[in-house]
Amino acid sequence: MFGPESIYKEASDLRRSQVFGNPTVVVLDDDSWALEVVLYALHHQNDLLPHRVEVEEMVMIAAICEKYELAQALRPVADRLFRGLRRETGKQGNENLLFVCQVFGYEEEFEEVSREMVMRATYEPGKGVRFGEAGNERGPRWVGKQIIEKILDVRKSHLEALRSYAKSLHTDPAHQLEIPLRSCLQGGVYKDNCEALQLGHLMKIVSKHNLDDEEMWNQSLYAISTQLLNIKNLYLPKNSACAEDHSGCSWVPGLHNAVQRVLESVKGLRLTNWPVRREGR
């Protein structure tokens, strides 16, 4: 129980030093500033507590509270400090706030930050998935591996939904020859003109936005959906030369609706499925 690898060894050595007169120095690897804040809070020295903190400072406080199981005791102080960071939960680069939300039990914010991570994650060939700004090699290092994997699974499922719909616009997945599927709904004398216009518009968009290339789909869901929603509608309007309005023949509104449905279906993770981690477990 008190072997060299025991979690009780430090306390045992400290008590033994009082008996045998050989003082034991306990070396802490915690952030000194954050530890100081935690001790002030535990000793109710509220006048010495900071009025506001930065994101990384809050993360350090949460790390100590997780390590020593002090989250419940520090919750009132954490609530006050976190209020100043509430507006940061939706910002890029603040993914480590997910760890803070997990430690102190902020359910709504946990779901919000994890959804932002789903939406902002990108894939960089040779380096894998990245969060935050381009070139950010650190990533959300305080967020547990299983949580990251779940976030990536959620991203993948929504990405595949967008990509599958985009591909279905110009190819039949069951047809090896990939015959274009677009057809005029109005019919009549301008049927061929309508179909040619829609097919040409579709091929132009596929080329312009690289819909058949991996580069397009390596972007974040935010970037991909923005590109797809910015595609303009094109059709034969009703005029003196064309008796019928062919707006219903355009494939663009259907694409926009599909993108909106995917965006509305993106949900963050629920905190109840991810209890706080414990040191050594």
Under 8 Å between Cβ of 14 and 26: yes
Return the pLDDT at 176.
Answer: 40
Q: Domain extents for the chain?
A: 102-281
Under 8 Å between Cβ of 111 and 269: yes
- Would you write out the chain's pLDDT as a tens digit for each of its 281 residues? 555 555 555 556 655 555 556 654 545 677 889 999 999 999 999 899 999 999 999 999 999 999 889 999 999 999 999 988 887 776 766 788 999 999 999 999 999 999 999 999 999 888 888 886 554 544 577 888 899 999 999 999 999 999 999 988 876 544 344 445 567 777 777 788 888 888 888 888 888 888 888 999 999 999 999 999 999 988 777 765 565 677 778 888 889 999 999 999 999 999 988 776 544 33
Greatest CA separation for the chain: 105
Q: Which helix (H) or strand (E) holds 122?
A: strand 122-124
| Helical segments of 55-176, H only | 55-67, 71-83, 97-104, 107-120, 145-168
Single-letter amino acid code for the residue at 274: W
pTM for this model (two decimals): 0.78
How far apart CA 177 and CA 173 sit, in angstroms, is 9
